[in-house]
Structure 1
Amino acid sequence: MSGFELWWWVILPYAAMVVFVVGHIWRWRYDQFGWTSRSTQLQERRLLKWGAPLFHYSAFAAIAGHVIGILVPRSFTEWLGVPERAYTLFSGIAGSVAAIGVLVGAGILVFRRMGVPRVRATTSAVDYLALVLLGVISLLGIYLTLGVQEFGSGYDYRTTVSVWFRSLFAGDPDHRAIGDAPVMYQVHATAAWMIFAVWPFSRLVHAWSYPLWYLWRPYVVYRDRRAGPPPEPGTGGRRWRKIGVPY
């Protein structure tokens, strides 16, 4: 193993994973008030209304596709009886749609942040870096899916990139597998690790703060000034009613 291979395909991925975990712990302990997307809805709403949902839903779809395509080995889909051509066609179409959605959504958000002065003032350099990396990853994803897998040589990344990625979590990095992959796959993988390293220090941390607890919070009790039945004893002459809006 050369020094370059050791650094690029072993040390860099593990370093990114350490920064990802430790960075989130540090951010949560010392910057909980900053653990937010720092919403700029009050500064601009029209572009946000289109860009944010498109970006978020497409990103979820892209992540799910990568989990299926990289973490699930080819032998498992063959054992399930899924034809390789059917798998390739489905992943190509779904992956391209998700990547285009991420790219367009991120483009709208970048245009918004650069074109609206009040929004630009709330954006840090790390946020711009995260958006640039997402753009690079999306563009390469579209090219590799359509330009290589569907209408190109039909390269099977599941025999190289996927094997290397899974080997990292098994504690036995297979640098030869990723070394045999085309250069653009290697760049795509490198950009992915970089986004993991940047994640804890950008707005992306709000992805872990999805308010599921909101579903079972108690209802808000509002004062009702409309005419109605006499107030209950102990309410001080006030009338109250519950409405179906949790707080």
Structure 2
Amino acid sequence: MSDLTVLDVLLWVAFPYIAAASFIVGHILRYRYDKFGWTSRSSQTYETKWLRWGSPMFHYGILGVFVGHVVGLLIPHQWLEFFGITEHLYHLGATWAGVIVGAITVAGLAILMARRGAVRRVLRVTTAMDVIMYAFLAGSLVFGMIAVVQFQVIGQFQAPATGYNYRETVSPWIRSLILFQPDATFMVGVPLAFKLHVLTSTGLFLIWPFTRLVHVLSVPVMYLFRPYVVYRSRDDHRGARAIRRGWQKSPVIDSTRPKQKQKLSSDR
């Protein structure tokens, strides 16, 4: 790490660990002192037309993005080759699958962001932290799509037609952080689009515990052990009391009126 600058160490060593500490400690403190705030603060009651399209697109898309990042960044390529997945096959599948799920995710997020700005009732319940969260989330997705399209899609038609192999730079850098053996030299020669994608994603993890994104870690474990909800059918036997329509006077109220009149006459 002798060729690294101070900025390299700050960006690719210090910043990730600060974000990780904020992510872990922040969630613990949020759960300890703000359990009632541990929610997505759904705005479904304010508007449903846009939400019906944007929410499924974003959530299903981001799930595919997460799976793709786990496979591409955390699993060494030697393991995939052991199961017969060659470099070319992985690159081809990861590129086009990433483009599809990435486009769906970006489109869903765009709908959700437009909804927050266009629907006045939703805009009123939007906090400053929501705006910051959407900025980091949108930046991460946009820079990721730029990196994929510029280097993986267009790069296939340029010499050499292999695109950029981030599994030789970004992937080992992330694994070095996980093993507490950080090596920032992997990130020195990484293209700018990938760097911006990594930085905005790291910033998102930094602010994660202080946003509505905490609901991602909410797992309904106790739902499996909750008491049964008993539903009983209505019995045909309605009892001895006569059926009274809702608009009819209550006999209880009528029975109290003579007493009130008698009391008033005695006071006089």
TM-score band by shorter chain is: 0.7 to 0.9
Structure 2 residue 66 is matched with structure 1 residue 63? yes
Deviation at 1:226, TM superposition (A): 4.5
Corresponding residue for residue 188 of structure 1:
197
> CA offsets per residue over residues 41-73 of structure 1, 9 Å max, x none?
111111111111111111111011100000011
Letter aligned with residue 12 of structure 1? F
1:75 maps to which of 42, 55, 78: 78
Corresponding residue for residue 93 of structure 2:
90
Q: 1:122 to 1:25 in 2, by over 3 A?
A: same
Cα distance in 1 for partners of 2:231, 2:85 equals 55
Corresponding residue for residue 14 of structure 1:
17
Structure 2 residue 202 is matched with structure 1 residue 199? no
Structure with bigger RCO (C-alpha 8 Å, 6+ apart) = 2
SS in 2 for 1:206: helix
Corresponding residue for residue 237 of structure 1:
none
Letter aligned with residue 199 of structure 1? W
Verify the 8 A CA contact 2:139 2:200 in the aligned structure 1. yes
Cα distance in 2 for partners of 1:215, 1:58 equals 27
Aligned residues: 230
Deviation at 1:5, TM superposition (A): 1.1
RMSD: 1.9
- Of 120-129 and 144-153, deviating more is 144-153
Verify the 8 A CA contact 2:144 2:193 in the aligned structure 1. no
Gaps of 5+ in 1: 231-247
Deviation at 1:31, TM superposition (A): 0.9
Cα distance in 2 for partners of 1:170, 1:180 equals 22
Structure 2 residue 211 is matched with structure 1 residue 208? no
Verify the 8 A CA contact 1:89 1:150 in the aligned structure 2. no
Letter aligned with residue 201 of structure 1? F
Structure with more strand by fraction? 1
Cα distance in 2 for partners of 1:180, 1:206 equals 36
Cα distance in 1 for partners of 2:109, 2:222 equals 28
Gaps of 5+ in 2: 239-268
Matches within 5 A, 1:40-59: 40-59=43-62
**Higher-Rg member (1/2):** 2
Deviation at 1:222, TM superposition (A): 2.8
Using structure 2 for the length normalisation, give the TM-score. 0.81
Corresponding residue for residue 34 of structure 1:
37
